[in-house]
Structures are given as structure tokens and as C-alpha cells.
Structure 1
């Protein structure tokens, strides 16, 4: 049983005081992480006068498992511990005489996954001097690393979503342009320009003549011929001079006699 895969947990516990003289004036943060493959470290601090620590080995965690009464495998127990520390019901219980400069003498971190379920209780020892400063510095640096990792993951996710959104926008734009072109082509087919040719009447007349029946055309040609061969009246004829006229039969008979 090792703790190499344990992911760091940060949180802000609710503060409770067991003595009337304890009035915390600052909020606390806690940090739970694997100090090494066989130890789980708990640090709680207000970054001022109160800093607490607990270092539990795997064997101590096993004892806690028996005391709490959680069955199942080791991984199931650690999952329950993790879920409890990430819940909203984590509390820091302060106790012991203290003043505004040194804070509470003792503390206990209490967590449970949900109401009515087993309670995880971790007793914490107070740190002072360089040990407290070192714990605060380590918590601050780990908190920054966690923030940086979360920020990078967030930015990568945002960049990926931005790329996907740009692809969607480009596809929609191409689709819109295609629809616009189709509408323009349809509009041109529906509104063809009218032909204004100066020979329109001539062409129409030719078409009308071509469409007439052969019988009507022949009748029209015959009527035209009769009109052109009409006999001119005698009084309109021009006299022809120097023309010999043939004698009629009466004239020939008178000559014989």
C-alpha cells in the first residue's frame, strides 16, 4: 500500500472553537498531500499565528480505517478519505488556551463525505518558528503549482474549444455562401432580360407569313396577277402612228365589185 497516486487536496474549513476564549480572526486553509510514498501530510494555517501539522503513515491510516469502521479495500478507504476532505463539511476544531499572538494550542480536522456517514478525524500538532514558516512556504508554493496546472488545463481547453468554434463558424459561412449563390442563380433564371431588337417587327412578320397555309398564299398570288394584267380602256390607249391596218371582209368585197 503506497500513496504515490494521491492527488493534493486544498480547502477552506469551517472553524469551530471549543473554548470561549478562542475567537479566530482569520480564515484557515488546509493542504493534504503525500509527503512520500508511505506518509500522508496534513497542514492547516491562517498564514499568521496558527499553523498545524499531522503526518500519518500507512499503518496509522490503517488503524484509522479500523477505528472508523470502513470496510472494503484500501483503495476504497482512500477514496472515502479523499471524498470527505473535498466535501463542504470539513471543519477545523480549535481548542486550548491561546492569545491573539500565539493562537490556539490544539486543533483537529474533521471531515465526512455526507451527513450520517463515518467521520474522519485528524489530530493536529501546533508548529512554531521555522517549522511553521516552512510549512506555510510549502503550502503557498504547492497552492501556486496547483493553480498554474489548473490554469494551463483551462487555457488548453479554451484553445481547443476556440479551434472547434472557428471550424464551425467557417463551415457555417461556407454553407451560407453556397446558399446565397444558389439563390442568385435561381433569381437570374426567374428574371431573364427582355429582347429589344429593332428587327422584331420584321422577324414577327416573317414568322407570320411562314405560318400561313399554302392555299391562302396561292390565292393571294392569283389575285395579285389579275390586278396587274387588267385591260386598259380604249380611250386611254395611245395611238400608234404608221401602222398598216388590215381591211375587213366588207372592204374586200367592195373592191372586187
Structure 2
């Protein structure tokens, strides 16, 4: 990764006088950090309050290498680039100004950045711009701000469109799931009713057989059968012996 791959950085930074005797109030300062369109290897820094203080710095690859050595960041080049970007994005970024000019504003300024307290300082000396150069720098600053705003606006619209599409997809999926759930509930309810009906029929059949096969019922049937088998036929219903048995009698002889 190099600075040429970096998106332009914008932001507000704290400005302060280096000399303790200066007490004049300071305007709000904005900064722009990017690369030159015709030379992506050169880091371009602009700082302005859009009044009487506009500053600029152009740092070539060789100058950046020297700054890397002075800071003392080893390792690959990408580590140095990441550290500088992180320092510029941090809350520890400030503009230190000193000296007076015949016109309004300071004579010298430095952009000082630090990723975190206790870590190496990134210090970049700035050149003061006046008259036409200052006007051109502020115009470029404004144009870059507008481009950044335009890109963010387009990105926001695209995100809103994607969000709307996702919302529609989610709503359609929810409706589909609700329909499937209703169909499933109907099928389960039908099967439950069918199972309950089968259970009732099975229970009735078992109840009838149990009643028929109960011990008391069987005992009653056995007793009745025994009574029928052992019942004595009444005398009046017995078969009558017809005729008289004739036999010889000694008296008749």
C-alpha cells in the first residue's frame, strides 16, 4: 500500500500558537491530505481557515523516506504509510503556528500528528500561501470537498436503494414463510384430527372386547351352561312306559 492508493482525507484540527505570549483567537482550520493528480507518489497537504491562514506542503517519495528515517519507523513501506494515515486521522492532530507577518496570520506553521500518546510524532513543515496562491488553494480545497460530498451522497443513495431492495426481499420471504407455516399448520391439524379419530375407534373396539371377555362375563356364561347341562327333567315330562310286561307266574301255572 502507498499514499497513491489513499482516498483524500478531510477533517478539522486544533490550531495553537507556539509562542506563549500570543493570545489572539484562531479561526477554525480544516485540512486536506491527498496526492497530486499528475504525480500520485507526491503527498499533498493543505490547511486553511479560509481567511488569512492558508498553508501547503508537497512531499515527494524521497522526502517521505527521509521523514520515515527521522521518525524511526522500520519494517515495510506499507507500515509507514499506515502509521502516517492513522496519525492524521487521530484526535492528536494539531496545527502549531508561530511568528507574525506584516499581514494577518502566522509566519510559520507545522502539522503535527501522533497515532497515540507515547508513539512517534509526525511533523510536517508547511509553506504559507498568499494572494493568488492562497485563493487557488482554497478553491481546490472547496472543489475536493464537493467531490467528496458528491461521492458520499452517491454512496448513500446506492446504500438506500440496496436497503430498500433487501427490505422488499425480506418482506417477500416473510410472507412466503407465513404461507408455508399456515399450510403446515393445516396439514398437522388434519393429521391430528385423523389420529384422534383413529384413537377413539380403537379405544371403543378395545372397550367392547374387554367387556365381552371380562372374567365376570365368562363366569356367568359358564354357570349358565352348566345349569343347562345338569338340569333334571320333571317327572311329568318323562317318557311314559306303555303296555304291561307279561310273564309266567307260578300261581297261574
Query: What TM-score comes out, normalization by structure 1 length?
Result: 0.66
Q: Structure 1 unaligned segments of length 5 or more: list them.
A: 191-257
Residue 171 (1) aligns with residue 142 (2)? no
- Report Cα offsets for 1:36-90 as digits up to 9, x if no partner: 2332111100011110111111111111111110101122111111111111110
**Partners of 2:80 and 2:186 in 1: CA distance:** 69
Aligned equivalent of 2:160, options 158, 161, 177: 158
* Cα distance in 1 for residues equivalent to 2:96 and 2:188: 78
- Find the counterpart in structure 2 of residue 7 from structure 1: 7
Could you tell me whether the CA contact under 8 Å between 2:13 and 2:29 is conserved in 1?
A: yes
> Structure 2 CA distance, aligned partners of 1:67 and 1:189?
81
Instruction: Say which of 91, 96, 113 aligns to 1:93.
Output: 96
CA distance in 2, matches of 1:68, 1:181: 70
Is 2:23 the partner of 1:40?
no
For residue 170 of structure 1, give the secondary structure of its aligned residue in structure 2. helix
* Runs of at least 4 residues off by over 3 Å: 177-190
Q: Counterpart in 1 of 2:85?
A: 82
Query: Quick check: 1:56 aligned with 2:27?
Result: no
Q: What's the secondary structure of 1:39's corresponding residue?
A: strand
User: Once the two structures are superposed, what CA deviation does each residue of 1:143-199 show, in whole Å capped at 9, x if it has no partner?
Assistant: 111111122122212211221111111121233345456667989999xxxxxxxxx
Say if 2:36 is the partner of 1:28.
no
Match of 1:230 in 2: none
Gap runs ≥5 in structure 2: 193-253
Match of 1:66 in 2: 69
CA RMSD after TM alignment: 2.5
Deviations 1:85-116 (A, max 9, x none): 111110011111258x6211211100011111
Decide whether the 8 Å contact of 2:2 with 2:78 is kept in 1. no
Partner of 1:143: 145
Equivalent residue number for residue 133 of structure 1: 135
The alpha-carbon distance between structure 1 residues 184 and 131, as it changes in their structure 2 partners (threshold 3 A), is same
Task: State which drifts further: 42-51 or 23-32.
Answer: 23-32
State whether residues 2 and 77 of structure 2, in contact with CA within 8 Å, keep that contact through their aligned partners in structure 1: no
Output the CA distance in 1 between the equivalents of 2:130 and 2:74. Answer: 37
Aligned residues: 190
**Corresponding position of 1:18:** 18
Higher radius of gyration, 1 or 2: 1
Q: SS of the residue aligned with 1:79?
A: helix
Give the direction of change, closer, same or farther, for the CA distance of 1:64–1:182 in structure 2 (3 Å limit). Answer: closer
Q: 1:67 to 1:188 in 2, by over 3 A?
A: closer
User: What is the rounded CA distance, in whole Å, between the counterparts of 2:88 and 2:107 in structure 1?
Assistant: 23
Which residue in the other structure is 2:244 paired with? none
